[in-house]
A = this chain, B = another copy of it.
Amino acid sequence: MRRAFDLSLYLVTDPRQTAARGLVETVRLAVAGGATIVQLRDPDAKGRVLAEQARALLAVLRPLGIPLLINDRVDIAVAVDADGVHLGQSDMAPADARALLGPERILGLSVGAPEELAASDLSGVDYVGTGPVKATGTKTDAGAAIGIEGLAALRRAIALPMVGIGGIDLAITPAVIAAGADGVAVVSAICASADPKAAAEALLQAVRAARP
């Protein structure tokens, strides 16, 4: 039985954007404002530091019932007893990850284009992250922007819960939800905000208001 999760407002952390305020404090403010799920993403961090960061975030998030996912590193997720993992297309195969994660943890997969969907084995995957919706400076190795039309096309092709990601701000959030996403995943809209709590509140309100 999978752990419950809510994609409405999905925070992805970025080490540079959270550096000034601190990772844990940024996440604390984001969930105080309404972030419903958090992904720890720091592709340059070594395992020891990543595990320490994950444990620090779990101390904040678990009492609130907010799931913590780890980007890429299935071993770190299991070692710290995080709630799951988010994989990119070049990370470990989802089926391999599922075997390590067991039946309860959450597994997400990035799917950015119809070709990637065709090449993906979605068995064992719980949700997909689709994008980049717009071009973004945060993740420089992301593919070309797929736009709202691209997201809507993937929505028609994929039955799993879906969160839009990539360049998402308050202005585009209603269109992302109207295109069929269950939520929005943001990095800079919260991490680089002067007021992460207020930013999260506004984003969550926009997601809820845009739902049919």
Name A's B-contacting residues (CB within 8 A): 46-49, 51, 72-76, 78-80, 87-93, 96-97, 99-100
Contacts and interface: CB of A to CB of B under 8 A. Distances in A.
Contacts of A89: 48
A92 B72 contact: no
Contacts of A72: 47
Given A48-B89, A75-B97, 7 more contacts: A46-B90, A47-B91, A48-B93, A51-B93, A79-B97, A79-B99, A100-B100
Contact of A92 (B48, B91, B92, B96): B48
A78 B79 CA distance: 13
A36 B91 CA distance: 30
Contacts of A78: 75, 100
Given A75-B74, A75-B75, A96 B51 contact: yes
B91 A48 contact: yes
Contact of A47 (B51, B80, B92): B92
Given A74-B75, A79-B100, A92 B49 contact: no
Contact of A46 (B74, B91, B96, B97): B91
A125 B91 CA distance: 27
Contact of A49 (B49, B75, B90): B90
A129 to B, nearest CB: 17
Contacts of A49: 90
A99 B74 CA distance: 13
A49 to B, nearest CB: 7
The residue among A51, A75, A87 with the most chain B CB atoms within 10 A of its own CB is A75
A76 B90 CA distance: 13
A76 B51 contact: no
A5 to B, nearest CB: 21
